[in-house]
Amino acid sequence: MPPGRPVKRILPDGCLDLIWHEGSVFIAGPDTTAQLGTAPPGARFAALRFAAGTGPGVLGVPADELTDQQVPLDAVCPAAEARAVAEAADPVAALEAFALRRWQEPDRAMVAVAAAARAGRPVGAIADRCGLSPRHLQRRCRSSFGYGPKTLARILRLQRAVALARAGRPFAEVSVSAGYADQAHLSRDVRALAGVPLGELVG
């Protein structure tokens, strides 16, 4: 890793990002584990984050085709349209305008699935609540979020745990409140998904 470059650990969250960087634009697909982001001092970025389940409709690509990948925008839309965003004087406004032009209402059932998973409801209960068979839930989750409902629930549980820990809650209390079996389960899951222990992650 180049010396002197700030490092940011980016946790998986079920979202898609559209990122402008120094005149190029790419899609950051949904991650299954944490990514390390680095940038030289003075580097310019602008980004638009799509809430879980909303990005595929705008980009016209199922989320599972982008999982753990960074893909140039012109790979999924006309080159002229991608170039207009890349060369815009105001990249934030250009990203927002791009999303508004292509906006599609997200799958309401999948928005409900994300909300239920975020609240810590069991996958089986989520399927029943949405009136979906496990097979249909799996297929639609992969298309909307980039992975199945169990992985989505695990990733959103990690997000809950990290938020609680950063708020100063003791780790034993975090494990119970976030829905882990015990503190050892919390520790294993955080290390598997984030790559570091919880104490290092929130320190």
Would you state the pLDDT for residue 96?
97
Residue 197 in this model has a pLDDT that exceeds 90: yes
Residue 7: which pLDDT band, with cuts at 50, 70 and 90?
low
Measured between alpha carbons, how far is residue 192 from residues 70, 82, 134 in Å? 21, 35, 25
Residue 81: which pLDDT band, with cuts at 50, 70 and 90?
very high
Measured between alpha carbons, how far is residue 31 from residues 97, 171, 196 in Å? 25, 25, 16
Residue 32 in this model has a pLDDT that exceeds 70: yes
d(CA 13, CA 29): 10
d(CA 186, CA 109): 29
Take residue 189 and report the two structure tokens written for it: 């899951």
- Every domain of the chain with CATH number 1.10.10.60 lies at 108-202
For 82-110, how does the pLDDT look when each residue is reduced to its tens digit (9 = 90+)? 999 999 999 999 999 999 999 999 888 88
For 131-157, how does the pLDDT look when each residue is reduced to its tens digit (9 = 90+)? 888 889 999 999 999 999 999 999 999
- For the chain, the average pLDDT equals 91
Q: 108-202 is classed in which CATH architecture? A: Orthogonal Bundle (1.10)
What does DSSP assign to residue 3?
T
Share of the chain above pLDDT 90, in %: 71
Q: What is the DSSP string of 109-170?
A: HHHHHHHHHHTT--HHHHHHHHT--HHHHHHHHHHHHSS-HHHHHHHHHHHHHHHHHHTT--
- The identity of residue 175, as a single letter, is S
φ/ψ of residue 2, rounded to 5: -60, 135
Residue 40 in this model has a pLDDT that exceeds 80: no
- Overall residue count recorded for the chain in this entry: 203
Would you state the pLDDT for residue 6?
54
Residue 41 in this model has a pLDDT that exceeds 80: no
d(CA 46, CA 21): 7
pTM confidence score: 0.88
d(CA 44, CA 24): 11
d(CA 101, CA 124): 36
Average pLDDT over residues 58-71: 95
